[in-house]
Chain A
Amino acid sequence: MKIVYVDNNATTKVDPEVLEVMLPYFSELYGNPSSMHFFGGQVQKKVNEAREKVADFLGAEPSEIVFTSCGTESDNGAIFGTLNSYPEKRHFITSRVEHPAINNICPYLSRKDYRITELSVDRDGRLDLDELKESITDETALVSIMYANNETGVIFPIKEIGEIVKSKGIPFHTDAVQAAGKIPLNMKKSTIDMLSMSGHKLHAPKGIGVLYIRKGTKFSPFMIGGHQEKGRRGGTENVPYIIGLGKACELAKKHLDDENTKVKALRDYLEKNILEKIPNTLVNGDRINRLPNTLSVSFEYVEGESILLLLSDLGICASSGSACTSGSLEPSHVLRAMGVPFTAAHGSIRFSLSVYNTKEEMDYIIEHLPPIIQKLRDISPFWKDYLKSQGKKII
Chain B
Amino acid sequence: MWEYTEKVKDHFLNPRNVGEIDNPDGAGEVGSLACGDALRLTFKLDKNKRIEDVKFKTFGCASAIASSSAITEMIKGKTLEEAEKVTNRDIAEYLGGLPEEKMHCSVMGREALEVAIANYRGEKVKKEDFEIVCNCFGVTDREIIKAIRENDLKTVEQVTYYTKAGGGCAQCHPKIEAIIEKVRKEMEKEAPPVRPERKKLTNIQKIKLIEETLGREIVPALKADGGDLDLIDIEGNKVFVALRGKCSFCPSSEFTLKQYVESKLREFVSDDIVVEEVRP
Partners in one complex: yes
Give chain A's interface residues, CB within 8 Å of chain B: 301-306, 309-310, 313, 322-325, 327-331, 342-343, 346, 378-382, 384
Residue of B nearest to A377 (CB): B59
Flag whether B160 is at the interface (Cβ < 8 A).
yes
Give, as a whole number of angstroms, the nearest-CB distance from B134 to chain A. 10
Once bound together, how far apart are the Cα atoms of A324 and B29, in whole Å? 20
Most B-side CB within 10 Å, residue of A302, A323, A324, A378: A324
23 contacts between A and B (CB under 8 A): A303-B36, A303-B61, A322-B36, A323-B36, A324-B37, A325-B61, A329-B164, A330-B36, A330-B136, A342-B33, A342-B34, A346-B36, A378-B18, A379-B59, A380-B57, A380-B58, A380-B59, A381-B20, A381-B29, A381-B40, A382-B33, A382-B38, A382-B59
Give, as a whole number of angstroms, the nearest-CB distance from B178 to chain A. 21
Give, as a whole number of angstroms, the nearest-CB distance from A333 to chain B. 12
Once bound together, how far apart are the Cα atoms of A346 and B39, in whole Å? 15
A379 touches B18 (CB 8 A): yes
Nearest 5 CB-CB pairs, A to B? A329-B167, A324-B61, A305-B61, A381-B57, A381-B40
Residues of B within 8 A of A324 (CB): 36-37, 60-61, 102
Residues of B within 8 A of A382 (CB): 33, 38, 59
Flag whether B242 is at the interface (Cβ < 8 A).
no
Known: A313-B13, A324-B36, A329-B36. A381 touches B137 (CB 8 A): no
B137 touches A302 (CB 8 A): no
A305 touches B58 (CB 8 A): no
Once bound together, how far apart are the Cα atoms of A4 and B142, in whole Å? 46
Residues of B within 8 A of A384 (CB): 20, 57
Residue of B nearest to A302 (CB): B59
Give chain B's interface residues, CB within 8 Å of chain A: 2, 12-13, 15, 18, 20, 29, 33-34, 36-40, 57-62, 64-65, 101-102, 136-137, 160, 164, 167-168
Give, as a whole number of angstroms, the nearest-CB distance from A300 to chain B. 9
Once bound together, how far apart are the Cα atoms of A151 and B64, in whole Å? 25
Residue of A nearest to B69 (CB): A379
Once bound together, how far apart are the Cα atoms of A346 and B64, in whole Å? 14
Give, as a whole number of angstroms, the nearest-CB distance from A245 to chain B. 28
Task: Identify B62's interface contact among A306, A342, A343, A381, CB under 8 A.
Answer: A306
Residues of B within 8 A of A380 (CB): 57-59
B58 touches A329 (CB 8 A): no
Task: Identify B60's interface contact among A303, A325, A328, A378, CB under 8 A.
Answer: A303
Apart from A313-B13, A330-B136, 15 more pairs, CB < 8 Å: A303-B60, A306-B60, A322-B61, A324-B102, A327-B101, A329-B36, A329-B164, A330-B167, A330-B168, A342-B36, A346-B36, A379-B18, A381-B40, A381-B58, A382-B33
Residues of A within 8 A of B168 (CB): 329-330
Residues of A within 8 A of B36 (CB): 303, 322-324, 329-331, 342, 346
Known: A324-B60, A329-B168, A378-B18. A306 touches B12 (CB 8 A): yes
A306 touches B61 (CB 8 A): yes
Residues of A within 8 A of B33 (CB): 301, 342-343, 346, 382
Once bound together, how far apart are the Cα atoms of A304 and B101, in whole Å? 17
Residues of A within 8 A of B160 (CB): 329
Residues of A within 8 A of B57 (CB): 379-381, 384
Once bound together, how far apart are the Cα atoms of A329 and B160, in whole Å? 9
Residue of A nearest to B34 (CB): A342
A309 touches B62 (CB 8 A): yes
Residues of A within 8 A of B29 (CB): 381
Residue of A nearest to B32 (CB): A342
Once bound together, how far apart are the Cα atoms of A327 and B36, in whole Å? 13
Known: A303-B37, A342-B33, A346-B36. A381 touches B164 (CB 8 A): no
Residues of B within 8 A of A343 (CB): 33
Give, as a whole number of angstroms, the nearest-CB distance from B203 to chain A. 60
Give, as a whole number of angstroms, the nearest-CB distance from A307 to chain B. 10
Once bound together, how far apart are the Cα atoms of A378 and B55, in whole Å? 13
A301 touches B59 (CB 8 A): yes
Residues of A within 8 A of B137 (CB): 329
Once bound together, how far apart are the Cα atoms of A329 and B13, in whole Å? 23
Task: Identify A381's interface contact among B59, B101, B167, CB under 8 A.
Answer: B59
A381 touches B38 (CB 8 A): yes
Task: Identify B59's interface contact among A303, A310, A327, CB under 8 A.
Answer: A303
Residues of B within 8 A of A306 (CB): 12, 60-62, 65
